[in-house]
Chain A
Amino acid sequence: MIKKVLKQLQRNKLQSVFLFVPVFILSAILFGSVVIDTGLKEGTKNLEKRMGADLMIVPQGEKDLAGSIISEGARGTFYLERSVYDIALKTKGVAAATPQFFLKSLAADCCSSEVEIVFYEPKTDFIIHPWISKEYEKQQDKNEVVVGSSINEEEGGVIKLFGRQYKIAARMAKTGTSLDSSVYFTFESMDTVINDAINKGSFLTKQQTKSDIISSVFVNVSEGYDESEVFENIKNNTTQKIDVVYPKQIEKNISVSIDGIYSALHMVSTVTLVLIFVILICVNIIIANERKREIALFGIVGATKKKIINMVCLQSLFVGAAGGIAGGLLGALFTIPFGDYIGMKLDMPYPGPAALETVLLLVIITVIAAGIGFVTSLIPVWRLSQIAPYTALRRDGD
């Protein structure tokens, strides 16, 4: 019987419910916002890596489209003659240059989803290489591809495109943009791929089938040279009508808009945090008055403060922890699977959190929640310790 009563004393249903629900909501929000927050931060970092070029040269009139290539990783189909690249290489102030060719939105055999095909030059490339996370082959030949992180391979590490199998030479890290769903060929494979596409009934424009064309040239400027001056020099040397995008400028704009999302996110989570904390304290003060005489009785019959805390607060510690785990898991259940969708909606690069980070965050939130449960439940005991047990026994108004 003693055990049973002790348990009863520790369990206060009302207190548990009023503790669990706010802590649960708090933990879910906290988990969700931290995950989205770190996801976006990671995304911005990736963005910086992706903007590995000072200039991106595109055909005149394609500036906006090119801009969205950088911010969202979407592909466009616009074309230039290869001579632009050769001229860029010779222009003063150009430290490095590499061409790319985009073939947009072609159906792959894996399923009828769209795969974005990019041709690049491994020798001069400085755009794709930094992203490679797993390398299977040292050098990529024309029967091999580099794939984005969300391209699923078939058995044996191959991918089938337009009826032909290609070995996967390397796989890229997740960028959180449509770069993830691209397949990268070297220019050597260009003829084969385009012929296969035509034979499989894909419609290609005349421009796309012409040889010696590219979509864009990425340029890094030597130190001490002005970016726009270098571009003017290239423009003056070529007969082609070209335009330029400054990836770093765009990156700055994205950072600014991400900052906006951050502050909104931070504000919402801070406000809820404060609000819920206030609610918790209020609830505990009400409960304190409710339990005041009960707790004073414990003192009268000889319980030490430590014992009272044991009886009254330990439960709250566990209830808080349970609320933290449950809320954190709920937050994880929504934010992690929906991560890609969140990124798409925000038009932001958004790689989800790593497994270790998730577990760590869950542990931290649980500890915080348990702490909140314990501390807020100390309020009744603390208030009582301020007055003599005799006074606490009085009914209000007596």
Chain B
Amino acid sequence: MEIQAVNVGMKFKNRVILDNQNITFQSGKLTVITGPSGSGKSTLLAILGGYMKPTIGHVKIGEKDITGLKEKELALLHANNIGYLPQWNVMLKKSSVLENVILPAIINDEKKHEGEYLEKAIEHLNALGIEEQKDNYPYELSGGELKRASLARALIMEPDILIADEPTTGLDAVTATRILEYMADYTARGKTVIIATHDDKAHDYADVIYDLAIKNVYNA
């Protein structure tokens, strides 16, 4: 599914947080957004995912303008079409890793297909190399393991669009590579994947690189 930022910008008390951006992200492409700290990478991602409203411009997903969407429709979009991997590892403290991974299915009341989602969750955890951690609690996991669990959670509903904010920051090279490879594999299934990072390693997996500061698109 194509996602398009149309003249999107963000201002807060006269301070420009995100300069106006025009960019289209295509299906089957992994786009890496780069730029110095404070150039508004995270803000752009939040706006693209509909987690924040831009002060000007709008976002289109497919043919739909999501900026003016009603709460219910937006929630539906978040549940089924968008996977978001936040910069911070946020997990339910009192639930196991496996339970955390299927949280989107829980929120969407998918009781009927519980088995399928559990199977899928274990598949993801297995592929990401943390299957043996599935019954542990979040506090028992390392930062890299938590990040991989969060990725599994973002992918559990098989969203058309995956948005990842600094997915490799603070991780060792092996784990970072594993996460990037997994996202590249996901892109190969015809999905739209957007990563904001200043980790150069990500460039090796990118189909498109977008420099936010100079508003330039490179095809890798």
Contacts and interface: CB of A to CB of B under 8 A. Distances in A.
A356 interface: no
Interface residues on A, range: 20 to 34
A389 interface: yes
Contacts of A388: 46, 51-53
A355 interface: no
B184 interface: no
A386 B170 CA distance: 31
A301 B108 CA distance: 9
A297 interface: yes
B107 interface: yes
A104 B109 CA distance: 77
B56 interface: no
B79 A301 contact: yes
A307 B90 contact: no
Given A294-B90, A388-B46, A388-B51, A300 B95 contact: no
A294 B78 contact: no
Interface string B103-138: 111111111001000100000000000000000000
A302 B76 contact: yes
B102 A2 contact: yes
Contacts of A389: 51-52
B80 interface: yes
Contact of B105 (A2, A3, A299): A2
Interface string B33-48: 0000000001000100
Interface in B49-105: 49, 51-53, 71-72, 75-80, 84, 86-88, 90-95, 98-99, 102-105
Contacts, number: 86
Contacts of A297: 90-92, 103
Contacts of A294: 90, 92-93
A301 B42 CA distance: 18
Contacts of A2: 102, 105-106, 109-111, 114
A300 B51 contact: yes
A317 interface: no
Contacts of B86: 300, 390, 393
Interface of A is mostly: helix
Interface in A364-398: 388-391, 393-395, 398
B46 A301 contact: no
B105 A393 contact: no
Given A8-B95, A9-B92, A388-B46, A302 B108 contact: yes
Contacts of B105: 2
Nearest to B76: A302
Contact of A302 (B46, B79, B98): B79
B12 to A, nearest CB: 11
A307 to B, nearest CB: 7
A305 interface: yes
Q: In the complex, which of the residues A302, A388, A391 has the most CB atoms of chain B within 10 Å of its own CB atom?
A: A302
A304 B114 contact: no
A9 B53 CA distance: 28
A6 B106 contact: yes
A152 B84 CA distance: 77
Interface in A290-306: 293-294, 296-305
Contacts of B80: 302
A300 B78 contact: yes
A113 to B, nearest CB: 61
Nearest to B83: A301
A298 B94 contact: no
A111 interface: no
Nearest to B84: A300
Given A2-B111, A389-B51, A390-B52, A302 B118 contact: no
Contacts of B94: 8
Given A301-B107, A302-B75, A302-B108, A1 B99 contact: yes
Most chain-A CB neighbours within 10 Å: which of B95, B103, B110? B103
A118 to B, nearest CB: 70
A388 B52 CA distance: 6
> Which of B51, B53, B79 has the largest number of chain A CB atoms within 10 A?
B51
Ranked nearest first, the 4 interchain pairs of A and B with the lowest CB-CB distance are A302-B79, A302-B78, A390-B46, A301-B104
Interface of B: 42, 46, 49, 51-53, 71-72, 75-80, 84, 86-88, 90-95, 98-99, 102-111, 114, 118, 153
11 contacts: A1-B98, A1-B102, A8-B92, A297-B103, A300-B51, A300-B84, A301-B107, A390-B46, A390-B86, A393-B88, A393-B90
